[in-house]
Structure 1
Amino acid sequence: MLPSEEDVKLYAERGWYLSEKLLTDEETEALTQASERFYAGQRDRALPVRPDRLADWTPADGEVQRNSDYIHYQDEVIARILRKPIVGAVAARLAKASEIRVFQATLIYKPPIVEEASNIVSWHFDKFFWPTCSSDRMLTAFIPFHECTEESGTIEMVNGSHLWPKRHGAERPAGDPADRAREYLLNGDADRNGAVVEKVPVHIPRGHMTFHHCHLYHGSGLNRSAHPRRAVSLHLQDETNEYRHHTLSTGRQQPYKHDSLVRTTAAGLPDYTDPEICPVLWPVPGGATPATG
């Protein structure tokens, strides 16, 4: 079930990979049931503090796109499935890493409401939101709980955009409708790079998942199906990643939401190896090392 050498080469060229079937039907059903219990208020562990900019949907928010951060910490059933060794092993091979740790995990639910604008996820690359991370080999596993199609608002990749020398992460004209704003950023960055934009909506069979590079532009559209689109975005870090200072042009330090949650190093800095928030997925403690190819 690991990526072949050709798969790893293709990942380096286009910036994403569609896996083999890594989860059983029983596991994806367990994810669905656990997510429903979570939405009903069940928590196996509460976060020790509430960080700034936490995505934390509650029923009072209504039928918008639901985003719930740190699901790997708060729900044991979901955490156990996300920690399945093959998930970390695939990531290690793609990133050519000797270790893969969780960075963050967000539970996502797109309601089956065609006109719901919050279902549109504008083009972005994940590293833009992780300015305090030192590694450029980080990657994300997008893990739907069911077959995920263009009709349901599957993830869309922009082939090769992780190699663009110039990129911006979150610019868009104020007040633009979500569908127009979604295109603005990508088109502007493509112009700056002289790139031909190749957008690929990925059809993901049940139990399969995608992995994408932290610099790859991606997004998703409306859910036009009759069922909610359920998934987890599992953000992953390699062994080299550590906290680094990031200062805005205003001179203000820009933290990540982790920085108030994780333990600190001997130097007093946020520790992105904290096993409670950022557990190791691969290699399995006491197990074999991955074939990184």
Structure 2
Amino acid sequence: MDLDTLLPGPDDVAFYRQNGYWVSPAILPGELLDAAERGMRRFYADDHDRALPDLPGTRGWRAEHGDVLRKNDYASLRVDELAGLVAHPAIAATAAVLAGADSIRLWHDQLLYKPVDAGGAPSRVGWHTDRQYWQSCSSDDMLTAWIGFHDVDEANGGVSFLPGSQQWDVTGLDFFSQDDTALIERTRSQGHSVDPVTPTLRRGQVSFHHCRTVHGSGLNHGSEPRRSLAVHLQPGDNRWVRRLGQDGVPVRHGNDDLVRTVDGVPDYSDPAICRPLWPHPAAVIR
């Protein structure tokens, strides 16, 4: 199939710009997602093709943590099947159209596994924005492609978005928070309401959201664990910038410890970590 037939059109881009998210048609083939499932199993079995330095940002969930929400960054840098999923040209090409970017690089990825809720450890993902964790980035047009390895909806813990929230003034939200009080109070004071939308994604569809869009996900009330990969993407002009946190200390990201440095600062175009994804040499998806 010709790649151009899969890309968002003007109305889709307008929807994304207004709402802060957009759901693609089925752009990923089943065999690629089958391979990603194998890659996920290999990742959790420590059957990796490449190793990364043992740093706080590269550790994530481990078997001793038990049957809880799993989040592991940089999985595609370690397992080939997950790297193949990240590299599928329809993902970055779509991101380029939505962001209005000439080129797209990987920022980093997160392998996510949400167990079926059994009333034990919470597996809800709190309301947050990705941008709040990427303060060392110059670009305000970064975005995320969220890929379920199977059908995903509200019942099994699909991602929920607050439409238009990429234009709100919200900071300090927490991925791991189980309390909505701070978000509700802050948004109501600005005249906004917390009215989430949880799209249903069929296998092969991908949701894209802006780095400032408030999102989270509920408990998994399905019959199987929810399995997915979040692919965080940066436009080609994104660069490291020096910004101070509330404590007066320069903010950092896990990438800062992995990418090469140029003139003493992290290089977010380092192809070993932030691989170029678009333009892609493959013009046709087979």
> 1:94: how far off?
0.2
Pick from 79, 83, 86: which aligns with 1:82? 86
Q: Distance in 2 between matches of 1:232 and 1:168?
A: 24
The question of whether the paired residues in 2 share the 8 Å contact of 1:123 and 1:185 is answered with no
Pick from 225, 228, 233: which aligns with 1:228? 225
Q: Which residue of 2 aligns with 1:11?
A: 16
Pick from 26, 35, 45: which aligns with 2:31? 26
Pick from 131, 144, 160: which aligns with 2:135? 131
The question of whether the paired residues in 2 share the 8 Å contact of 1:144 and 1:232 is answered with yes
The question of whether the paired residues in 2 share the 8 Å contact of 1:56 and 1:69 is answered with yes
User: The residue matched to 1:201 in structure 2 has which SS?
Assistant: coil
Deviation string, structure 1 residues 103-157 (Cα, Å, up to 9, x no partner):
0101000111242443100000000001101100000001000000111100000
Q: Which residue of 2 aligns with 1:69?
A: 73
Matched, 1:115 2:119: yes
Q: Which residue of 2 aligns with 1:246?
A: 243
The question of whether the paired residues in 2 share the 8 Å contact of 1:143 and 1:231 is answered with yes
Q: Distance in 2 between matches of 1:171 and 1:207?
A: 29
Pick from 169, 172, 189: which aligns with 1:169? 172
Q: Distance in 2 between matches of 1:12 and 1:55?
A: 34
User: The residue matched to 1:101 in structure 2 has which SS?
Assistant: strand
Q: Distance in 2 between matches of 1:78 and 1:53?
A: 18
> 1:38: how far off?
1.1
55 and 156 in structure 1: CA distance in 2 versus 1, 3 angstrom threshold: farther
Q: Distance in 1 between matches of 2:63 and 2:246?
A: 37
The question of whether the paired residues in 2 share the 8 Å contact of 1:114 and 1:222 is answered with no
TM-score between both structures, scaled by the size of structure 2: 0.93
Q: Distance in 2 between matches of 1:197 and 1:113?
A: 24
Letter in 2 for 1:30: A
Deviation string, structure 1 residues 58-111 (Cα, Å, up to 9, x no partner):
111100011111012011111012101111100000000001100010100011
Letter in 2 for 1:280: P
TM-score between both structures, scaled by the size of structure 1: 0.91
The question of whether the paired residues in 1 share the 8 Å contact of 2:126 and 2:174 is answered with no
Q: Which residue of 2 aligns with 1:273?
A: 269
Matched, 1:99 2:103: yes
Q: Distance in 2 between matches of 1:78 and 1:249?
A: 36
Question: Comparing 217-226 with 249-258, which one deviates more in the overlay?
Answer: 249-258
178 and 284 in structure 1: CA distance in 2 versus 1, 3 angstrom threshold: closer
Q: Distance in 1 between matches of 2:144 and 2:261?
A: 24
Q: Distance in 1 between matches of 2:85 and 2:280?
A: 14
Q: Which residue of 2 aligns with 1:291?
A: none
Matched, 1:57 2:57: no
Q: Percent of counterpart pairs with the same letter?
A: 37
> 1:26: how far off?
1.3
Q: Distance in 1 between matches of 2:174 and 2:231?
A: 24
Task: Provide structure 2 residue ranges, at least 5 long, that are not aligned to the other structure.
Answer: 1-5
The question of whether the paired residues in 1 share the 8 Å contact of 2:75 and 2:109 is answered with yes
Q: Distance in 2 between matches of 1:284 and 1:171?
A: 34
Alignment root-mean-square deviation, CA: 1.7
Task: Provide structure 1 residue ranges, at least 5 long, that are not aligned to the other structure.
Answer: 289-293
Q: Distance in 2 between matches of 1:5 and 1:116?
A: 45
The question of whether the paired residues in 2 share the 8 Å contact of 1:25 and 1:207 is answered with yes
User: The residue matched to 1:235 in structure 2 has which SS?
Assistant: strand
> 1:187: how far off?
0.5
